[in-house]
Amino acid sequence: MVLIADGGSTKADWIAINDNKEEVFRVRTLGLNPAVISVEELRNRIINMFQLINIKEQVSEIYFYGAGCGTPKAVNILKELLESIFTNAKVSINEDMLAAVYASAGDKEAIVCILGTGSNSCYFDGNNIEMLVPSLGYTIMDEASGNFFGKKLIRDYYYKKMPKKIAKKFGDAYNLDADYIKQHLYRESNPNMFLANFAKFMFDFKEDVYIKKLIRKGFKKFFKCRILPFEKDNTTPIYFIGSIAFYFNDILESVADKYDLRIAGIIQRPIDNLLEYHKNKL
């Protein structure tokens, strides 16, 4: 049996397929980002999913694509953990950027972007991935991601830059006590996911002028930092993966038009496309 997983910081989607390349089941665990989650918590999130543990002896291969898996140390942490649980499996760990490429461009040239809890981008020439810079995560990068917008909303609320009507609704929707926020940002795991939860507020008020302006500014920053520096002509297709891109696709399209760039596709969750890719390769 083969396990294919696409793991973000917030959640991880798993699909099991048998020797006939037939789907046996799919499950979702909490996120498995080794850059921000302890090994103990990573283990708990896997072993508490009984569907995975029930077939752990039968698994021969695992293809895991995850947020935070862009450095050797993070890859080793997750690889050793998975090998200790699925003792008969050959484990392959790659960053989520590669999953995004397989799920969208396949084997064709494209710029591929992630806009979910975190954000990233790459240029794929059909064989190799070119990254602009290593991702340094939610504290100083992740433009236009869920955690990026979560930070912006909290800052605007505290600095009183948020319109009063929206501020009232935001305050009613979340615990904005300073001690509560600092506890989750500096003393608990998954601060990036905590911040991204605040971005969900934008989904309910996406037609509001303030929210639209906030999203548009974030998307412009992403294009300037993560797409334009590749210096590709406007015929190069651009794909986006993730809920932020999916739910605000109209604003994303308008920003792309501003730069005379073409968005070829927007995919909320890449797991289904990733499954088809692996079925063709296994």
Bigger pLDDT: 281 or 201?
Answer: 201
Of the pLDDT bands very low, low, confident and very high (cuts 50, 70, 90), residue 277 is confident
Bigger pLDDT: 172 or 8?
Answer: 172
**Average of pLDDT values for 77-98?**
95
Of the pLDDT bands very low, low, confident and very high (cuts 50, 70, 90), residue 42 is very high
Q: What is the distance between the alpha carbons of residues 181 and 107, in angstroms, rounded to a whole number?
A: 43
**Average of pLDDT values for 48-71?**
93
Q: What is the distance between the alpha carbons of residues 232 and 234, in angstroms, rounded to a whole number?
A: 7
Give residue-wise pLDDT tens across range 161-191: 999 999 999 999 999 999 999 999 999 888 9
> pTM for this structure?
0.86
Q: From the CB of residue 60, how many other CB atoms can be counted at a distance below 10 Å? A: 12
Mean pLDDT taken over the chain = 94
pLDDT value for 209: 96
Bigger pLDDT: 49 or 189?
Answer: 49
- Collapsing DSSP states into helix, strand and coil, what is residue 155? helix
Domains and CATH numbers, the chain: 2-99+271-281 (3.30.420.40)
pLDDT value for 269: 86
Give residue-wise pLDDT tens across range 183-226: 999 998 889 999 999 999 999 999 999 999 999 999 999 999 99
- Nearby residues of 177 by Cβ (< 8 Å), 6 or more positions away: none
281, pLDDT greater than 80: no
Phi/psi zone of residue 272: left (φ > 0), alpha (ψ -120 to 50 degrees), beta? alpha
**Average of pLDDT values for 248-271?**
95
How large a percentage of the chain has pLDDT more than 70?
100
CB 76 within 8 A of CB 190: no
Alpha carbon 9 to chain centroid, angstroms: 7
CB 128 within 8 A of CB 185: no
pLDDT value for 235: 94
Task: Give all strands of the β-sheet with 90-95 in edge-to-edge order.
Answer: 23-30, 11-17, 2-7, 61-66, 90-95
